[in-house]
Amino acid sequence: MNGFGILKWLVFCVFLAFPAYSAVPTQVVSDTEIGKARTQYGELAARRLSALKELIETNQSRPERLKLNLVNDFFSKVTFTEDSVAWKKKDFWATPAEFLAKDKGDAEDFAIAKYFSLIALGVDEKKIYFSYVTSTRLKKSHIVLTYFRSPKSEPLVLDSLTDRILKASARSDLIPIYSFNGRDLNRGSQSTSKKDFASSMHQWSQMLNRMQKGIVK
């Protein structure tokens, strides 16, 4: 992939700072959330959350590429389900704990869970981005997680549509729209409407608020 191709995935326009509430939680799953999941969803839900907690605690020293594989493989077992079915809402961004407790979720939920898990494993937040894309396969907007080993490297794509982690150049079915992480957001010539952007920011802030408070819906 040439430099322009990489820029299509990341640097679309200008960087905008996230508000103060976007600070990344340092813990993906807490004991409080495990207890709430057990009460609300049953023992199997609590075990899923505990398994993620153990994965993070026991793989801190692993090579970074292996961490990507471990996290991607772990969440590939969750069932892809639209929000209207899983949460009875048009759009809902679940915390990692809610996602595992429910054991189902859509593309945003997969990306969010992988994002926070990788950060908890010690992967630099600056290397990981949520990337809104148009999926030519689905013929609609979609979200994936993109990982940059270095600022100039070709990104790897972690996608709920496949269990494989592939280079962006191998994903000709995805057309980048805009990307953001917990600190930055960049928008470009193909960016969505201001209304869609505001909706994403609202979902992000609400999800972080529940995560920081240990809420499990």
Secondary structure of the chain in HEC code, one letter for each residue = CCHHHHHHHCCCCCEEECCHHHCCCCCCCCHHHHHHHHHHHCHHHHHHHHHHHHHHHHCCCCCHHHHHHHHHHHHCCCEECCHHHHCCCCCCCCCHHHHHHHCEECHHHHHHHHHHHHHHCCCCHHHEEEEEEEECCCCEEEEEEEECCCCCCCCEEECCCCCCCEEHHHCCCEEEEEEECCCEEECCCCCCCHHHHHHHHHHHHHHHHHHHHCCCC
| 183-193 mean pLDDT | 43
Tens-place pLDDT, residues 127-171: 999 998 999 998 999 999 999 999 888 999 999 999 999 999 999
High-pLDDT (> 70) share of the chain, %: 80
> How far is the C-alpha of 27 from the C-alpha of 51, rounded, in Å?
14
pLDDT single digits (tens) 16-60: 333 333 455 668 999 999 999 999 999 999 999 999 999 999 999
Give the number of other CB atoms < 10 A from CB of residue 207.
21
This prediction's pTM = 0.86
- In one-letter notation, the amino acid at residue 191 is S
What is the rounded average pLDDT of the residues 51-80? 97
Confidence band of 80 (pLDDT split at 50, 70, 90)? very high
